[in-house]
Amino acid sequence: MKRRVVITGMGIVSPNGVGILTFLKNIRSGVSGIRHFPKLTELNFSCQLGAQPEVPETLQKQYFTDLELRNFNSNGILYGVMAGMDALADAGINVAEKEGEPLWDLGVVFGTGTSGVEKFREAIYKLDDGNVRRLGSTTVIQTMASGISAYLGGKIGAGNWVTTNSSACATGTEAVLMGYDHIANGKAEQMLCGSCSDASPYVWGGFDAMKVTTFKHNDTPKQASRPMSASASGFVPGSGAGAVLLESLESAQKRGATIYTEVLGGSSNNGGQRLGGSMTAPNSKAVQKCITDAIRNAQITSRELDYLNGHLTATAKDPTEIANWCEALGRKGKDFPYINSLKAMIGHGLAASGSMEIISTVLQLQHGFVFPNINCEDLHPEISELIDREKVPQEEIEVPLKTAAKASFGFGDVNACIIFRKI
């Protein structure tokens, strides 16, 4: 028998709000964190918009010492450490003493797509100038893929499994699934799970070159990200981090911890870049299988789902995603669950998207609401043929939610879906 797993702590560093209370307020109100970046104009980007958390130096110093911040140039790690430490504090768990034993029953799975791109660029210039000795002692730990989990593991004193996963836009959702499995199988009591992504032209530039980002709203950034809209023209690149503290139900009850929701289970798979799937496009059969396998693993029926947090990136693939949900759930029209996309407010956070969107999912379950689908006044006609307009609310609605699904799909034909239930 697998052990039951719950969420007892959360942390978020998002373009439209740093900290759970601010983020909650802003998603309820439909506040956008997307803005124009003059640097992208200087670099001749087609999409001159982005979404980046605002983290003043005074706030950074609450998480890093002055020594750590010296020559520190990896904002993805910064966001991830902030979100992770906030989730730990929210769960009421103290870090291990510096001279004490590690926390043997607490581990970390924290994902990223690319790490320390700006630091790596800085290092390249120094190397090209023949200044290798000026790179400093932190270049490696800021640019290695596992830098984020290494920083968090050290700050916490985590003594269990500490690792980094990377599965493109499915990274955050996959990280939570990995932590869930570890606890459910009795290998840990607590796992800090999440993902982060750097804010940098050198991360976003490749997507601009692929022409998958929008170029039509450089003067109107708040209207730029338009998931499920007929006038959607591509995504807005974003960044940030989200983190959850997963815990066995027994441990949470023993501690008297606040329980936000239960993780019922989930699934991850790959479309094999077959049957229409490719490095950049999803295999619909695999997407549907991921959803149905997640429902089966969670031991529920599709009829029990009240709400879906979609991947929905504001590209031409949005109608295909809705069709896949309909096929997998066997539900459409008025029978379809409520659905929304956080990307309308914070852009596409890439590797960080799944974890930030999981936070928004849990908050909606906890408080009984569905946040608005801003910029979707013109629902795509292919979507309106499949599901009822009221299932894609444009204003916040208050509704009791019991069971929710969050899915993420990414480059490489990777898929992940996780099921949550309010208890």
Phi, psi at 416, each rounded to 5°: -150, 140
pLDDT tens column, 393-403: 999 999 999 99
Give the residue ranges of DSSP H helices in 91-190: 117-128, 139-143, 147-156, 171-184
Question: What per-residue confidence (pLDDT) applies to 112?
Answer: 98
pLDDT at residue 360, as a whole number: 98
What does the pLDDT read at residue 129?
82
**Which of 100 and 127 is assigned the larger pLDDT?**
100
Q: Which pTM does this prediction carry?
A: 0.97
Mean pLDDT, residues 176-200: 98
Superfamily of domain 5-261: Thiolase/Chalcone synthase (3.40.47.10)
pLDDT above 70 as % of the chain:
100
Measured CA to CA, the distance from residue 159 to residue 311 in angstroms comes to 33
User: Environment class of residue 330 by beta-carbon count within 10 Å: exposed (0-12), middle (13-18) or buried (19+)?
Assistant: exposed
pLDDT tens-digit profile of 1-16? 899 999 999 999 999 9
CA gap 224, 176 in Å, rounded: 29
C-alpha distances (whole Å) from 58 to each of 61, 87, 129 are 5, 20, 33
What confidence category does residue 258 fall into, taking pLDDT thresholds of 50, 70 and 90?
Answer: very high
Q: How many whole angstroms separate alpha carbon 338 and alpha carbon 4?
A: 26
Give pLDDT tens digits for 316-350.
999 999 999 999 999 999 999 999 999 999 999 99
pLDDT of residue 121: 87
Write down the domain spans for the chain: 5-261, 265-421
Contact between 226 and 233 under an 8 Å Cβ cutoff? The reply is yes
pLDDT of residue 138: 87
pLDDT tens digits, one per residue of 276-325? 999 999 999 999 999 999 999 999 999 999 999 999 999 999 999 999 99
Domain 265-421 falls in which CATH fold?
Peroxisomal Thiolase; Chain A, domain 1 (3.40.47)
3-state secondary structure at position 16: coil
- At residue 126, the pLDDT reads 81
Rounded CA gap, 17 and 31, in Å?
9
The residue length of the chain stands at 423
The pLDDT of residue 61 is: 97
**pLDDT tens digits, 16-70:** 999 999 999 999 999 999 999 999 999 999 999 999 999 999 999 999 999 999 8
pLDDT of residue 130: 85
Q: Which residues of 344-363 are buried (b: 16+ CB within 10 A; e: fewer)?
A: bbbbbbbbbbbbbbbbbbbb
| Shared fold status for 5-261 and 265-421 | yes
